[in-house]
Amino acid sequence: MQAAEPPKPGALRAGCLNFTELSAISVANIAPTLTAVLIMPLMYGAAGNASWLAYLFGAVMLLFVALNLNQFARRSAATGSMHAYTAMGLGRTAGGISAWCLVWAYLFDGVPGVAGFAIFANAALAAIGLHVPALPLFAIVVFVVWLLAYADVQLSSLVMLSFEGVSLTLVLLVCAGVLLRHHFALDAPQVSLKGASLAGVAMGVNIAIFSLVGFENPTAFGDEARDPLVTIPRAVIAGLLLSGVLFVLFAYVEVMGFAGYATPLDKVDAPINMLARLVGMRVLIVPLSLGAMVGSFAALSACVNASARVLYSLSREGILHTAICSAHETKQTPHVAVTVMSALFFAIPAALLFVPGTRLLDIVGYGGALTAFGFIGAYLLVSIAAPAWLSHAGSARARDYALAAVAALLLMFPAIGSVYPVPPWPYAVFPYLFLAYMIAGLLWIRSRSLSAVEYEDLSSAASAAGPAEGDAG
- Per-residue pLDDT reduced to its tens digit, 402-436: 999 999 999 988 888 788 778 888 889 999 999 99
Picking from 249-253, 289-293, 309-313, 419-423, which range would have the lowest pLDDT averaged per residue?
419-423
DSSP-assigned beta bridge partners for residue 79:
221
Contact 163, 297 (CB under 8 A): yes
Rg over alpha carbons for the chain, rounded to the nearest Å, is 22
Is the overall model pTM greater than 0.95, yes or no?
no
**pLDDT value of residue 328:** 58
Task: For domain 19-460, give the fold.
Answer: Amino acid/polyamine transporter I (1.20.1740)
Is the pLDDT at 470 greater than 90, yes or no? no
End-to-end CA distance of the chain: 41
* CA 81/CA 74 separation, integer angstroms: 12
63: number of CA atoms within 13 Å, CB side? 12
Picking from 7-21, 211-225, 253-267, 409-423, which range would have the lowest pLDDT averaged per residue?
7-21
Alpha helices in 152-270 (DSSP H): 153-181, 188-191, 198-212, 228-258
Quick one: pLDDT band at residue 103, thresholds 50, 70, 90? Answer: very high
Quick one: pLDDT band at residue 12, thresholds 50, 70, 90? Answer: low
* CA 213/CA 206 separation, integer angstroms: 11
Q: What is the mean pLDDT of the chain?
A: 84
Contact 369, 135 (CB under 8 A): no
DSSP-assigned beta bridge partners for residue 17:
225
DSSP-assigned beta bridge partners for residue 225:
17
